Amino acid sequence: MYILLIGAPGAGKGTQAKKLSQLLALRHIASGDLFHTAFEEQTELGLKAQRYVDLGELVPDEITIPMVMRHIEEPENIQGVILDGFPRTFEQSQALDAELSRIKRQVDLAIHLKVSREELLARLAGRIFCQANQHVYHIKFRPPKVADRCDLDGSKLYQRPDDAGEAMRRRLVIYFNQTVQLLDYYRQQHKLREVDGNSSIDQVQAILLSVINDSTGRVAKV
Ligand SMILES: [Zn+2]
């Protein structure tokens, strides 16, 4: 089963995808995490990708698509994956379909996590990540137990440069412009489901699970 989670930066895709991947026993592939991991490993693709991320620009497809497909094609992911943050554009959705059909697979469901612009700005301004594993916290909505330290691994917390100021606003504008055509593409194939992402993490999680169960007949492993 191949599920896409589509949503703006700050919509909660990462948090939701992580939980869904545990409940559905599917690997969670986040393009943002792939970039950060590749950057930390100082791979050539990773260093190139980071330059775009720091500027609040989209990472070009010739970097993103090979990175994502490398993970999709890993043998342990043959049952499917939850893709979070990819595809972002119509062109990427075409490339993904072509690559999946090559391995006799297809996108089953595209879920749009809808969050208002005001809510996104409030969430993004306070996001902090741990240096060791990119665990996400929020200064106001989800603070760590000890200031500036990850609850899970004790590493230092930092704000991503692209979450602050002008770079973040540019990211949102790019996101809204790119996403219209992407949503239309999946809507026409009757694969699109829209979920209100403005409420609490648990409420959104419950809605997502019921949407996935209704659409695929798959029952979550709880
Ligand atoms: Zn951590």
Q: What is the pLDDT of residues 54-79, one digit of tens each?
A: 887 778 888 888 888 888 888 888 88
Question: pLDDT tens across 170-198, in order?
Answer: 888 888 998 999 999 999 999 999 999 99
CA distance 24 to 19: 9
Distance 149 CA to ligand 1 centre (A): 8
Distance 133 CA to ligand 1 centre (A): 5
Q: What is the pLDDT of residue 222?
A: 47
Known catalytic membership, residue 102: no
Known catalytic membership, residue 127: yes
Distance 150 CA to ligand 1 centre (A): 5
Q: What is the pLDDT of residue 218?
A: 62
**Of 1, 56, 22, 42, nearest in space to 212 by CA:** 1
pLDDT more than 70, % of the chain: 97
Distance 176 CA to ligand 1 centre (A): 30
CA distance 72 to 28: 10
221 pLDDT above the threshold of 60 = no
Q: Please, which residues have CB within 8 angstroms of residue 205's CB and are 6 or more apart in sequence? A: 16, 19, 20
pLDDT more than 90, % of the chain: 47
DSSP state of 209: H
Q: How far is CA 126 from the centre of its chain?
A: 18
CA distances from 168 to 1, 9, 20, 53, 76 (A): 32, 9, 26, 10, 35
State the catalytic residue, choosing from 19, 123, 160, 218: 160
129 pLDDT above the threshold of 80 = yes
Known catalytic membership, residue 13: yes
Residue 138's identity, in one-letter code, is H
Distance 56 CA to ligand 1 centre (A): 24
Known catalytic membership, residue 70: no
20 pLDDT above the threshold of 50 = yes
Looking at the whole model, is its pTM more than 0.85?
no
State the catalytic residue, choosing from 19, 123, 171, 193: 171
